[in-house]
Amino acid sequence: MKEFKSKAIDIFIDEDIKRSKSIGPELIQAIRGSRIAIAFLSMNYASSSWCLNELVLIMKYRKELGLTVMTLFYDVDPTDVKKQTGDFGMAFKETCKGKTKDEIGRWRHALEEVAKIAGYHSSRWENEADMIEIVTTDISNSLNISTGSSDFSSLVGMEAHMKNLEQMLYLDLNDVRMIGIWGPPGIGKTSIARVLYSKYSDSFDLSVFMENVKGYTRPGCSDEHSLKLHLQQQFLSQILNQKDIEVRHLGVVQDRLRNMRVLVVLDDVDQPAQLEAMAKENKWFGPGSRIIVTTQDQRLLKAHGIKDMYKVDFPPPDEAFQIFCMGAFGQTSPKHGFEELAWEATYLSGIHPSGIKSMGSYFRGMSKPEWADALQRLRTSNPDSESLRTHRKLRNRFRNGKQKMMTRMLSRIRRHQIAAAAAKAASVYETSIKEEVDSSADRR
């Protein structure tokens, strides 16, 4: 079993378990806790009622729990396994003697189902070592794919975004859909698209995440047609995983992908030509395809005929506070004794998630006196800080003193008053967001 260990595959072998007429709790727990079960079907497999009972359990958990089952047919034909014929069938009949009709029926059904799973056949390899290498490599890859991603576990508010977007994707329908995700820079559009892509890309024939599309320019592109050819070449190279692909006309994407179910993310699009080059029409892609476009410009989406649009808003006060805490403390709540300081720092961070997160990272690891000193400096200096410039714009709109009242309130309250102070501060924050949005709309 060294081949498995060399690929960091933790295996459970039932050879060390004492055999009995029924499957014991130790084996049941082992199968339930496994991500992959390997059915090693040999000529003598059907000679063991233990192996047959184990197979019944494996196939049961495959149906109920989604357990992945892989098959290896060693010196036995899958047809003989499915129909219980040949030498395999003779061994099965011997095992069935004295068994109940129900038990035999469960064994037959499990053998029929497992034989339908495309697997590995020892007869196809002259060298057994080569077969083992292929099998262990495929198992390792399957484990990597099935491992739940923790890349986005620290992204506050992502669950709500996923729920809203999944209602727009209609993944159970077989039509082709384009979905636009729009909002100001630094709001989290790319992160949302990445989570969607990570969650669903494996269920499509082909998938690609084209990051920072507006950066896909080439000095040699003298006109828009040349730019489109370049963009289509880059797009096909990534989605087909083919280097140095040649694109001589703009119909290549449709020719290659019209029968493929694809998931495409075009991130940070800022020109109509980019969409026209890589996703001009729905008919370019096969049934069930989904095209996701992120951009700052809602008008660009409308001009391309994209009707399903999702606006990423500024985070509400509780989420802004959690985002800050993730940066400052590595968790969604402040450490004991830092509550007041964390609330004030959150509101000094502005309203953009990227600025809030950066501010949190700045405070990470500081002591309480260091926090107090840093906050004082941030109130009065650092004119180059983008988040503070945002904060000053908001503060200037509160000439009636509301912002000063909030700051004094946060600096004077005791620990048991934090919840009430946070609610009042949240009200101010929400008002500032509304004014910022209204101001942006007026500027448009």
Total Cβ atoms within 10 A of residue 240: 14
H or E stretch at 292: strand 290-295
Q: How far apart are CA 444 and CA 430, in angstroms?
A: 21
Two tokens, residue 256: 């290659």
Output phi, psi for 400, to 5 deg: -80, 0
The three state secondary structure string of 15-28 is HHCCCCCCCCHHHH
Contacts of 22 (CB under 8 A, 6+ apart): 53
H or E stretch at 167: helix 158-169
Q: Which residue has the tokens 């140095």?
A: 244
List the one residue out of 8, 78, 1, 16 whose CA is nearest residue 42: 78
Catalytic option among 26, 54, 64, 113: 54
Two tokens, residue 416: 């048991």
Q: How far apart are CA 289 and CA 263, in angstroms?
A: 6
List the one residue out of 148, 49, 142 whose CA is nearest residue 103: 49
Contacts of 34 (CB under 8 A, 6+ apart): 12, 67
List the one residue out of 422, 131, 165 whose CA is nearest residue 293: 165
CB distance 19 to 48 below 8 Å: no
CB distance 339 to 418 below 8 Å: yes
User: Residue 263 forms beta bridges with which residues?
Assistant: 207, 290
Complete edge-to-edge strand list for the sheet that includes strand 68-73: 36-41, 68-73, 120-121
CB distance 97 to 140 below 8 Å: no
Indicate the residue type of 18.
K
**340 catalytic residue (yes or no):** no
Indicate which residues carry an active-site annotation. Answer: 54
